[in-house]
Amino acid sequence: MQRIRSILIAFGLFAFACSSASAYDPSPLQDFCVAIKDFKNGACSYRRFLFRPKQAGNTSNPDGSNVTMINVDQILGLNTLSISLVRIDYAPYGVNPPHTHPRGSEILLVVEGTLYVGFVMANPTHCLFTKILNPGDVFVFPFGLIHFQFNIGKTAAVAFAGLSSQNAGVITMAKAVLGSNPPINPDVVAKAFQLNKNVVKYLQSRY
């Protein structure tokens, strides 16, 4: 009986230790200043932590939006810090089309304009969450879920989004499915979307 009690106590302590460890955010395995060329006087150069976009993004494209990435490629000091930022500019009625970030969650802050935003839950529910956002509003897009933003106003809109990765990546649904290189066999897409094959070929030609 005593042996069983000891085993149960040991198991409980082990489980507690594991639960505590899972909540702990460990120190980065790398230093954000390792192997850099601008290391001076034992300190990182400020250039490693600064990025200055020259102007607002160009929205004269079919989507009517422009995403300016500010990740580890632009700010080298983000290495191992698990954060990044994007600026999104929207023309009137411009859209940041349905997409997903395979390596991070997103929190969006609207600075100018009015956005209709939403995300879709995973299989099997496919529940759609949407909201209309005004300047100062903040909205969260959970990790890996398909989401979008649409400028429903008659004026330009601007938003900033923080991402929980130094390089969260992006997969735009329409471009990935219809604009892959080489193209996905139209029979596959037609079957998946229950469309006529000629419609699929036309949509693929648009990309």
CA distance 176 to 54: 29
Least confident of 2-11, 45-54, 81-90: 2-11
pLDDT at 22: 44
Pick the CATH number of 46-169 from 1.10.3720.10, 3.60.130.10, 3.20.20.10, 2.60.120.10: 2.60.120.10
DSSP H helices, 68-196, are: 173-178, 186-193
Q: Rounded to whole angstroms, how far apart are CA atoms 45 and 19? A: 39
pLDDT for 52 equals: 85
Q: Looking at residue 24, what is its pLDDT?
A: 45
Three-state secondary-structure class, residue 54: coil
Residues 68, 58: Cα–Cα separation, whole Å: 10
| Torsion sign across C-alpha atoms 55, 58, 59, 65 | negative
Is 101 annotated among the ligand-binding residues? yes
**pLDDT at position 46 over 70:** no
126 annotated to bind ligand: no
Residues composing the chain: 207
How does pLDDT run across 58-106, given as a tens digit for each residue? 999 999 999 999 998 888 888 888 999 999 999 999 999 999 999 999 9
Spatial separation of the C-alpha atoms in residues 24 and 93, rounded to whole Å: 43
Annotated ligand binding at 106? The verdict is yes
Please name the amino acid found at residue 36.
Answer: I
Beta-strand ranges (E) seen in the chain are 39-40, 43-44, 65-70, 84-90, 95-100, 106-112, 115-120, 128-133, 138-141, 146-151, 157-163, 171-172
- Read off the DSSP letter of residue 48: G
Boundaries of every domain in the chain: 46-169
Q: Which residues contact 195 (CB under 8 A, 6 or more apart)?
A: 189
Angle between helices 197-205 and 186-193 (to 10 degrees): 110
pLDDT score of 153: 93
Q: What is the pLDDT of residue 37?
A: 52
Q: What is the pLDDT of residues 106-141, one digit of tens each?
A: 999 999 999 999 999 999 999 999 999 999 999 999
Q: Give the residue with greater pLDDT, 6 vs 128.
A: 128
Is 96 labelled as part of a ligand binding site? yes
- Residue whose structure tokens are 């209309």: 132
Tokens at 172, concatenated:
């735009």
Q: What is the pLDDT of residues 160-190, one digit of tens each?
A: 999 999 999 999 999 999 999 999 999 999 9
